[in-house]
Amino acid sequence: MFNRDRWREILEVLTSNVGRTILTAFGVCWGIFILIVLLAAGQGFENGIRADFGDIATNTMFMWTRRTTKPYEGLPKDRSFEFKVSDVQAIWDHVPNLRFVSPRNQLGGFQGGGNVIRGIRVGAYNVYGDYPEIINQDPMTVTSGRFINHNDIREKRKVAVIGQGVKSELYEKGEEVLGSYIKIQGVNFMVIGTYKKNSNDGDGEESQKEIFVPFTSFSQAFNRGEEVGWMAITAHDGSSISRLKENIIKVMKERHKVHPEDNRAIGHFDLYEQFNRVESLFVGLKAIAYLVGIMVLLSGIIGVSNIMLIVVKERTKEIGIRRALGEQPWSIKMQILMESIFLTIISGMAGIIFGSLVIYGINSLLDSVGPVDMFINPSVSVGVVSGALVILIVSGLLAGFIPANSAIRVRPIEALRTE
């Protein structure tokens, strides 16, 4: 089946009209090229967006209080209220499948002036009162010292973990950071660690300028009492936070005497929902890339099919001779099919190589001009390439199918009559 003679014949047929073969091949080459480049561009976009999300636990929601908009149980509307520390335990008790419930308090933020002092240096930073679990929800790498722990929480130690950005602004280069003190709104905290976050979105710099202190010490130092500013709640991987959040909010409404239909009293941001929305965008992008690529490829395949029909027509007499000499119909069919598959695969390979070169070029361009927003490392995986090869083989088969059948429909007697 795959012997030397057959290969020689395939090459002879395809090289007998080189110009035509190349033009035909170009159709398939172009189709697969488009497919590869589109998929790579989609991947680049996906990589870019994913990098924006960083390592944040995506199955997470954030929740904060606002003013009520409906009177309820004798309480007026426009009433402001705060989450309490006891709400955390209530959430644990009433909602299953949660992984972390982190109450948070915050100083600074958008309007924050210079709130941190060290010696003669002053800085404006976000200061968070947090539980140790926050490091799993908003991942960061501790570069020196340690992160806050439960002993810090229990003993209300005035310790702080500062970001790289804080360190470079408040300290001289090479100065010892651990064990030194910074003054946050007039209260001294000892620095016990530094961290670095690895996201590269727009506020990447901002996220390196944060200070984490134990939640309990924060409350005490800054007179927050039992108040909780907001909460970061992460569900277990198996269950989506988007489905659990209704329940959580319901529990909160009950505890704070908020009208059950008052949808604006408790604000929340569902990261998982956002993430899912982006995820489905990726799926959509990929589908479009495949659709467009395969459509373009299809016109290439039709070209191949067309040429194979012409080849069969041209070789009608030869086919007649060969059948008169006793070649089996399946063998002729096989010959035409293999020519078609061979042509598609060769030209498809050219397309894949060409596409890879273009992707490689774009990558080195990106490397030289520096990072572009929302576009990182466009690439196609080996899986995609092998998928493309499968598509090629199938399309070669399809392209050769009609010509091969028309070849064996030729009756030798009629073929020989063609002069």
Partner 1 sequence: MGSNSLHVLKGINFKAEDGELVAIMGSSGSGKSTLLNILGMLDVADTGEYTLDGVPIKDLSETKAAQYRNKFLGFIFQSFNLINYKSALENVALPLYYQKVGRKERQEKAMSYLEKVGLKEWASHLPSELSGGQKQRVAIARAMAAEPKVLLADEPTGALDSTTSYEVMDLIQKINDEGNTILVVTHEEDIAHMCKRIVHLKDGVIVEDKKIKQVRAQQHV
Q: What are the residues binding partner 1 (CB under 8 A)? A: 3-5, 12, 16, 317-318, 320-331, 408, 411-414, 416, 419
Angle at 320 between CA 318 and CA 324, to 5 degrees: 115
CB of 23 to partner 1, least distance (A): 21
Chain-centroid distance, C-alpha 4 = 48
Dihedral (Cα; 270, 274, 280, 284), 10-degree rounding: 160
CB of 390 to partner 1, least distance (A): 31
How far is 389 from 382, CA to CA, in rounded Å? 10
Question: How far is residue 67's CA from residue 122's CA, in Å, rounded to a whole number?
Answer: 34
Compare residues 92 and 330 and give the one whose CB is closer to partner 1: 330
Give whichever of 82 and 327 is closer to partner 1, judged by the CB atom. Answer: 327
**For partner 1, the closer CB: 176 or 314:** 314
298 versus 416: smaller Cβ distance to partner 1: 416
φ/ψ (deg, to 5) at 189 = -125, 140
Residue closer to partner 1, measured from CB, 237 or 314: 314
Contact status, residue 317 vs residue 416, Cβ threshold 8 Å: yes
CB of 409 to partner 1, least distance (A): 10
Nearer to partner 1, 101 or 407 (CB): 407
- Angle separating helix axes 271-314 and 316-324, nearest 10 degrees: 70
404 burial type by CB count under 10 A (0-12 exposed, 13-18 middle, 19+ buried) = buried
Dist. CA 207–CA 198, nearest whole Å: 9
Chain CA centroid to CA 252, Å: 33
Helix (H) or strand (E) holding 316: helix 316-324
> Other CB atoms closer than 10 Å to residue 385's CB: what's the count?
17
Pick from 346, 356, 351, 359: nearest CA to 296: 351
Please report how close the Cβ of residue 343 comes to partner 1 at its closest, in angstroms: 17
- Residue 9 or 205 with smaller CB distance to partner 1: 9
Nearest residue (CB) to partner 1, 112 versus 412? 412
Give me the least distance between CB of 318 and partner 1, in Å please: 5
Q: How far is the CB of 315 from partner 1 (least distance, A)?
A: 9
Give least dist CB 355 to partner 1, A.
Answer: 34
Q: Which is nearer to partner 1, 155 or 414 (CB)?
A: 414
For 161-197, give the DSSP string.
Answer: EEEHHHHHHHS-TT---TT-EEEETTEEEEEEEEEE-
Structure tokens at 361: 């070029």
Give dist(CA 157, CA 151) in Å, integer: 8
In the bound complex, what is the minimum distance in angstroms from residue 14's beta carbon to partner 1? 12
What is the closest distance, in whole angstroms, from the C-beta atom of residue 400 to partner 1 in the complex?
A: 19
